[in-house]
Amino acid sequence: MMNFHKERARPTYRQSFAQITLALALIGLPSLSIAEDEVKLSPEQVQSLGVHITHPISSRTDQTLPYPAQIVIPTPQLWVVSAPVAGMVTGLSVARGDRVKVGEPLATLESPSFVSLQREYLHAVAQDVLAAQQLKRNTELFEGKAVPQRVLEASQTEARQAGIAVAERRQMLRLSGLSDAAISKLSSEAAINATLSVAAPQSATVVETLVSPGQRVEQAAPLIKLARLSPLWAEIAIPASSIRAIRPGARVDIDGYAKPGQVILVSETTDAATQTILVRAEVPNAGELRPGQTTAARISFLSTSESAWEVPYSALFRRGEKASIFVAIQGGFRPVPVTVLAEDQDHVVISGPITDKDEVAVTGISALRGVLLGLGAVP
């Protein structure tokens, strides 16, 4: 192998337009030659063209470069507890971060509307009892032929309507948060209460309180936001050029977190501003991940049959949709097709027929391409 300039670290190389122009002009050196898909150069020509090399670095054979990720709460696991009736908040039983069980009190309201609902329910119950008694009396009278059939039918209709009214008012009380046991107690004791307790509909964590004691709220006004925090979503921004190797079901590893997740969505749209594509992963959470947290995530490739190598981004060049790198050979360089698995502005992860023993050109790429394409005065 020729004694090229080697770069042992992972630098990023950029050449100005003037350097590239100079490199192309040097193509006309008399001893320069081109073989099919090879660039034949002497050591002096390599030095004149400003070509530097480095060895590929073994990368994770099954994962991308780390990409930024945001931990968020899955929307199906988020609930907003609203005020069942209009009234005033007299107290809060929980605060942000508290864990609550289903049925546990969250807030207390005082509500004239709640008083009216109870009164209307008791009135409906009384009317139902009265209608039932009237029906029983008219049934006995009809059997004794003391009243005509139309009187009995009218009583039957009134009894049905009274029963419907009771069912309606009972349902209104349920919607206001009263349990069946509390409604039964109201029916038996007729004790109207102006205070209403709002309970948790699910076992969850309080992520936000939206009201304060003393605040007046309308019916359906949001009071408390609850969420179940396992599993969580990791929303990852992937460059559009790297999305082909990622599919739903792929494994996702969050930096600093032991439990892997799984890709559940690869968005079909691209963010116009960042040219990234949203990849959403579902990650089990034992309490170490927190919504709103910013982290980094690595995603498994679609295929792990080949080794993966990391090289500086400057080593990569494209011919149409195909990517290649220049690998040093005896007396020059040859282009080697590779598959891009992941990339950022400084590095690229590739797979292809290379090893860590190969020497890859990282500067002078434009000059080497010019020679390969037959540009310049080549004898």
Counting residues of the chain whose pLDDT is more than 90, the rounded percentage is 61
305 band by pLDDT with thresholds 50, 70 and 90: low
pLDDT at 154: 94
pLDDT exceeding 70 applies to what percent of the chain? 87
pLDDT surpassing 50 at residue 163: yes
Confidence (pLDDT) at 62: 60
Least confident of 180-189, 241-250, 352-361: 241-250
- Per-residue pLDDT of 260-271, as tens digits, reads 999 999 999 999
Per-residue pLDDT tens digits for 117-132: 999 999 999 999 999 9
pLDDT tens per residue, range 197-230:
999 999 999 999 999 999 999 999 999 999 999 9
Which pLDDT belongs to residue 78? 95
pLDDT of 25 higher than 70: no
pLDDT class of 22 with cuts at 50, 70, 90: very low
Q: What is the mean pLDDT of the chain?
A: 86
What does the pLDDT read at residue 221?
96
pLDDT band at 291 (very low <50, low <70, confident <90, very high): very high
Q: In the predicted model, what is the mean pLDDT of residues 83-99?
A: 95
Residue 279 above 70 pLDDT? yes
Provide the greatest CA pair distance for the chain.
Answer: 131
Exposure string of 102-136, with b = 16+ CB inside 10 Å and e = fewer, is: eeeebbbbbbebbbebbeebbebbebbeebeebbe
**CA-angle at 176, arms to 174 and 182, nearest 5°:** 55
Q: What's the pLDDT score for residue 161?
A: 96
C-alpha radius of gyration, the chain, whole number: 38
Mean pLDDT, residues 328-348 taken together: 87
Domains and CATH numbers, the chain: 5-60+306-372 (2.40.420.20), 67-73+230-299 (2.40.30.170)
pLDDT at 60: 63
Mean pLDDT of 248-268: 92
- For the question of whether the overall pTM of this predicted structure is more than 0.85, the answer is no
Asked if the model's pLDDT at residue 27 lies above 60, the reply is: no
